[in-house]
Amino acid sequence: MKPGYEGPAIDAVGLVKEFERGRRTTWQRVRRQADQRERFRAVDGIDLRVERGEIFGVLGPNGAGKTTTMKMLATLLEPTAGTARILGYDVVHEARDVRRRMGAVLSDGRSLYWKLTARENLEYFAALYHVPPREQAARIAAALQAVKLDDRSDDYVERYSTGMRQRLVLARALLPDPELMLLDEPTVGLDPQSSRDLRDRVRDLQAQGRTVLLTTHYMEEADQLCDRIAIVDHGHVVALDTPTGLKRTIAATEVVHLEIASSPADAALLSRLEQTAGSVARHERENGDLQVTVHVRSARDFVPVAFDAAREENAAIKHVEVVPVTLEDVFISLTGRALRE
Amino acid sequence: MIEQLSAAWAVARKELQIARRYPLNLVNEVLQPLYQFLLPSLLLGLTFYVGGRAIGLEATTGTDDLAGYLFLGTVVGGLVGAAFWDMAFGLKREMDAGTLEPTWLTPTRPDTAVLGRAFSALILSAIASVLLVAIGALVFGADIARGVVAGLPAIVLASISMIGIGYLVASAVLMIREPNFFVDSTNFIFAMLSGVAFPITVLPPLIQPFCYLLPTTYAVDLLRYYALGTIPLLPPPAQWLALVVLAVVYIVVGRWVFMRTEHRMRVLGTTGQH
Amino acid sequence: MTASPATFSATTPSRWDDLRADLRAFGAAGVKEWRLLRRYPSLFIGFLFWPIALPLAYVFQAQGYSGGQPAALDAFAQRTGTAEVAGFLFLGWAAYMWISMILWGPGTSLRTEQVRGSLEALFMTPVSRMVILFGPVVSQIVWAIWMFAVVGGVLVLFFRVPIGPIEAIRALGVILVAVPALYGLGALFAAVVLRFGEVSAMVQTVRGVFTVFCGMTFPIIILPVWAKAVALSLPPTYLIGDLRAVLLQGSDFVSLVPELAILATMGLVLCGFAIVAFRRTERFARRGGSLAQY
- In this predicted structure, what is the pLDDT of residue C268? 95
- In this predicted structure, what is the pLDDT of residue C127? 92
Read off the pLDDT of residues A218-242 as tens digits, 9 standing for 90 and up. 888 898 899 999 999 999 999 999 9
* CB neighbours of residue A135 within 10 Å: 14
DSSP-derived 3-state class of residue B108: coil
Please state, rounded to an integer, the average pLDDT across all residues of chain A.
88
Q: Are C64 and B24 a contacting pair at CB < 8 A? A: no
User: Burial level of A318, CB count in 10 A (0-12/13-18/19+)?
Assistant: exposed
Q: Tell me the CA distances in angstroms from C54 to B44, C41, C93, one per residue in order.
A: 14, 20, 7
Q: Are C39 and A100 a contacting pair at CB < 8 A? A: no
DSSP-derived 3-state class of residue A243: helix
Average pLDDT over residues A142-159: 92
d(CA B221, CA B72) in angstroms, rounded, equals: 9
CB A232 within 8 A of CB A69: yes
Backbone Cα Rg of chain B:
19
**Which residue in the set A19, A127, A142 is minimally distant from C28, CB to CB?**
A127
Residues A37, A40, A44, CA angle at the centre, nearest 5°? 150
Chain C CA closest to residue A112: C118
- In this predicted structure, what is the pLDDT of residue A183? 94
Q: Tell me the CA distances in angstroms from B42 to A12, B45, B105, B195, one per residue in order.
A: 65, 5, 49, 16
CB B48 within 8 A of CB B146: no
Full pLDDT tens readout for chain C, 294 residues: 444 444 677 677 888 888 999 999 989 988 888 888 888 777 788 889 999 999 999 999 999 999 999 999 999 999 999 999 999 999 999 999 998 888 888 888 888 888 888 888 999 999 998 888 888 877 778 888 888 999 999 999 999 999 999 999 999 999 999 999 998 988 888 888 888 776 777 888 888 899 999 999 999 999 999 999 999 999 999 999 999 999 999 998 889 999 999 999 999 999 999 999 989 988 888 888 777 765
Q: How far is A193 from chain C, CA to nearest CA, in Å?
A: 23
- In this predicted structure, what is the pLDDT of residue C132? 87
d(CA A108, CA A186) in angstroms, rounded, equals: 8
CB-based contact, A170 to chain C, within 8 Å: no
Residue A28 pLDDT more than 80? Answer: no
ipTM of predicted assembly, 2 dp: 0.91
Chain C CA closest to residue A53: C5
Q: How far is A179 from chain C, CA to nearest CA, in Å?
A: 6
Share of chain B above pLDDT 70, in %: 96
- In this predicted structure, what is the pLDDT of residue C2? 42
Q: Tell me the CA distances in angstroms from C152 to A2, C94, C104, C147, C169, one per residue in order.
A: 56, 10, 23, 9, 12
CB A211 within 8 A of CB A132: no
- Best B34, B39, B48, B201 member to test C by mutation, with max C CBs in 10 Å, is B48
Cα B39 to chain centroid distance, Å, stands at 20
A25 vs A153, more confident: A153
Q: Are A113 and C1 a contacting pair at CB < 8 A? A: no
Q: What is the 3 state secondary structure string of chain C? A: CCCCCCCCCCCCCCHHHHHHHHHHHHHHHHHHHHHHHHCCHHHHHHHHHHHHHHHHHHHHHHHHHHCCCHHHHHHHHHHHCCCCHHHHHHHHHHHHHHHHHHHHCHHHHHHHHHHHCCHHHHHCCCCCHHHHHHHHHHHHHHHHHHHHHHHHHHHHHCCCCCCCHHHHHHHHHHHHHHHHHHHHHHHHHHHHHHHHCCHHHHHHHHHHHHHHHCCCCCCHHHCCHHHHHHHCCCHHHHHHHHHHHHHHCCCCHHHHHHHHHHHHHHHHHHHHHHHHHHHHHHHHHHHHCCCCCC
Residue B95 pLDDT more than 80? Answer: no
Average pLDDT over residues B124-131: 88
Q: Are A128 and C127 a contacting pair at CB < 8 A? A: yes
- In this predicted structure, what is the pLDDT of residue B271? 54
**Which residue in the set B31, B43, B185 is minimally distant from C217, CB to CB?**
B43
CB C97 within 8 A of CB C51: yes
Q: Tell me the CA distances in angstroms from A218 to A63, C54, C250, one per residue in order.
A: 14, 58, 73
Inter-axis angle of helices C70-80 and C85-104, nearest 10: 50
* CB neighbours of residue A108 within 10 Å: 18
Read off the pLDDT of residues A239-270 as tens digits, 9 standing for 90 and up. 999 998 998 887 777 889 999 987 777 788 88
- In this predicted structure, what is the pLDDT of residue B60? 94
Query: Which residues does residue A291 pair with via DSSP β-bridges, in sequence order?
Result: A259, A284
- In this predicted structure, what is the pLDDT of residue B156? 92
Q: How far is B55 from chain C, CA to nearest CA, in Å?
A: 7
**Which residue in the set B28, B35, B202 is minimally distant from C63, CB to CB?**
B202
Report residue A26's pLDDT band, with 50, 70 and 90 as the boundaries.
Answer: low
Could you tell me which residues of chain B have a Cβ less than 8 Å from any Cβ in chain C? 24, 28, 31-32, 35-36, 39-41, 43-50, 54-61, 66, 178, 180-182, 184-185, 188-189, 192, 197-199, 202-203
User: Burial level of C87, CB count in 10 A (0-12/13-18/19+)?
Assistant: buried
d(CA A100, CA A76) in angstroms, rounded, equals: 14
Chains that touch C (3 or more CB pairs under 8 A): A, B
Chain C CA closest to residue A109: C117
CB A197 within 8 A of CB A163: yes
Residue A127 pLDDT more than 70? Answer: yes
CB-based contact, C250 to chain A, within 8 Å: no
Which range among A252-256, B102-106, B142-146 has the greatest average pLDDT?
A252-256
- In this predicted structure, what is the pLDDT of residue C261? 96
DSSP result, B190-233 = HHHHTTSSS-GGGS-TTTHHHHTT-HHHHHHHHHHHHHH-PPPS
Chains that touch B (3 or more CB pairs under 8 A): C
Cβ-proximal residues to B7 (8 Å cutoff; 6+ apart), any chain: B106, B108, B112, B113, B116
Q: Are C3 and A112 a contacting pair at CB < 8 A? A: no
d(CA C226, CA C147) in angstroms, rounded, equals: 32
Chains that touch A (3 or more CB pairs under 8 A): C
Tell me the CB-side half-sphere exposure of residue A76, using CA atoms within 13 A: 26
Q: Are A104 and C124 a contacting pair at CB < 8 A? A: yes
Any idea of the CA torsion for A237, A243, A245, A247, to the nearest 10 degrees? 90
Residue A137 pLDDT more than 70? Answer: yes
Q: Are B56 and C200 a contacting pair at CB < 8 A? A: no
- In this predicted structure, what is the pLDDT of residue A262? 73
Q: With contacts defined as CB-CB under 8 Å, which chain A residues touch C288?
A: 19-20
Q: Are C76 and B48 a contacting pair at CB < 8 A? A: yes
CB-based contact, C117 to chain A, within 8 Å: yes
Encode B74-110: b = buried (16+ Cβ within 10 Å), e = exposed: bbbbbbbbbbbbbbbbbbbebbeeeebeebbeeebbb
Q: Tell me the CA distances in angstroms from C79 to A230, A301, B45, C76, C155, one per residue in order.
A: 76, 104, 12, 5, 21
CB-based contact, A178 to chain C, within 8 Å: yes
CB A237 within 8 A of CB A45: no
d(CA A324, CA C195) in angstroms, rounded, equals: 51
> A255 phi and psi, to 5 degrees?
-125, 130
Q: Are C218 and B40 a contacting pair at CB < 8 A? A: yes
Q: Are C62 and B57 a contacting pair at CB < 8 A? A: no
DSSP-derived 3-state class of residue B182: helix
DSSP-derived 3-state class of residue A273: helix
Q: Do chains C and A touch (3 or more CB pairs under 8 A)?
A: yes
CB-based contact, A7 to chain C, within 8 Å: no
Q: Are C218 and B192 a contacting pair at CB < 8 A? A: no
A20 vs B106, more confident: A20
Q: With contacts defined as CB-CB under 8 Å, which chain C residues touch A68?
A: 289
Report residue B205's pLDDT band, with 50, 70 and 90 as the boundaries.
Answer: very high
C14 vs A53, more confident: A53
Within 95-114 of A, beta carbons closer than 8 Å to C belong to 96-97, 99-102, 104, 106-108, 110-113
Q: Are C211 and B57 a contacting pair at CB < 8 A? A: no
DSSP-derived 3-state class of residue A22: coil
**Which residue in the set C43, C62, C208 is minimally distant from B44, CB to CB?**
C62
Any idea of the CA torsion for B225, B226, B227, B228, to the nearest 10 degrees? 40
d(CA C148, CA C176) in angstroms, rounded, equals: 12
d(CA B225, CA C292) in angstroms, rounded, equals: 56
Chain B CA closest to residue C74: B48
- In this predicted structure, what is the pLDDT of residue C85? 96
DSSP-derived 3-state class of residue A125: helix
| Range from A153-162, A316-325, C135-144 carrying the lowest mean pLDDT | C135-144
- In this predicted structure, what is the pLDDT of residue A253? 77
Residue A336 pLDDT more than 80? Answer: no
Q: Are C118 and A124 a contacting pair at CB < 8 A? A: no
Residue B63 pLDDT more than 70? Answer: yes
Q: Do chains A and B touch (3 or more CB pairs under 8 A)?
A: no
**Beta strands at A55-59 and A211-216: parallel, antiparallel or unpaired:** parallel
- In this predicted structure, what is the pLDDT of residue C198? 67
Average pLDDT over residues B54-58: 95
* CB neighbours of residue C85 within 10 Å: 22
Q: How far is A74 from chain C, CA to nearest CA, in Å?
A: 7
CB-based contact, C24 to chain A, within 8 Å: yes
Q: Are A77 and C287 a contacting pair at CB < 8 A? A: yes
Chain C CA closest to residue A124: C28
Q: Are B43 and C65 a contacting pair at CB < 8 A? A: no
- In this predicted structure, what is the pLDDT of residue C1? 42
